[in-house]
Amino acid sequence: MSGRGLLRYARLTRRQLIIFAIASAVINGIITASVGAWLAQTYSKYQARRAAIETIAHLVYERRTRAGMVASSIRRNAEIEEMRQRKQAYDEAYVDWNKNVMLNLFAIREAAGDFNISSLEPVFEDHLIAAMADQDRCVTKAYDARIANQDAKLVLEECRMAALHQYVLDCGATFTNELYKLTEPTFVPFTGQFAKTRMLAEKRIRDYCVDKDVRTVAPAAPSSVPASQGPAAPATASTPQAVPQAPPAAAAKVIP
């Protein structure tokens, strides 16, 4: 059967074929344009979120590094001019951080896929930002002590600068790394993969930023007397043998 015969058999006219071809082209064009626009929008969001997280990482590492350089000058008893230059550079990093705090919170909220406050924001504010604030007070106090010819090294030890410096690195690296993972684009919807990635990210961030926060653990005070024993009572001259003492009461547990 010829082609014209097939058309007659299917009862299709030339006008109907033209209309069908045009309708198919229009529908395919709409679908292609819609999918293309969605892919472009998804990739654009991915790029913007990733750039925001990279900015947070840059600010965290710069502020931490500048603080460590000031502390290093103090520990080495470097020249006052070197310490002043490093402190000035740290102050500039401190200003850059604080003027971007709200933008950083918005970036965290968007990376976590939340329209309102994200569950990661309190961890960011109450632990990472709070630790950097403690680090700032420590460095500033030690710097002022050095300018006043006081024992600045002792100040760094008393405020636990080394522990704070390491904690900011561990928490900051974990936080930014997990946020970076959350920015990965997902082109297959309704799979639940983002929810799983977010749950794992929150767990890792809590492990390094909440559970290992050095500010919630008081340093153990050195003591030559075992904690389970009290000081021995001296025997008096009138008694040939020391009177047995009652066992000391258990020390109250300090809750950090």
Q: Spell out the residues 6+ positions from residue 46 whose beta carbon is closer than 8 angstroms to its own.
A: 183, 184, 185
Residue 219: the pLDDT is: 55
Cβ count within 10 A of residue 25 = 10
Displacement of CA 151 from its chain's centroid (Å)? 33
Lowest mean pLDDT among 80-94, 133-147, 202-216: 202-216
Domain boundaries, the chain: 49-216
b/e map of 141-169 (b: 16 or more CB within 10 Å)? bbbebbeeeeebbebbeebbbeebbebbe
- Structure-model confidence comparison of residues 42 and 251, the more confident one: 42
Rounded Cα gap, residues 147 and 84, in angstroms:
9
Q: Binning pLDDT at 50, 70 and 90, where does residue 150 land? A: very high
Residue 31: the pLDDT is: 76
Structure tokens at 129: 């930002």
Structure tokens at 142: 């030690």
pLDDT at 86 over 80: yes
Q: What's the average model confidence in pLDDT over 115-127?
A: 84
Residue 164: the pLDDT is: 95
Structure tokens at 124: 């960011």
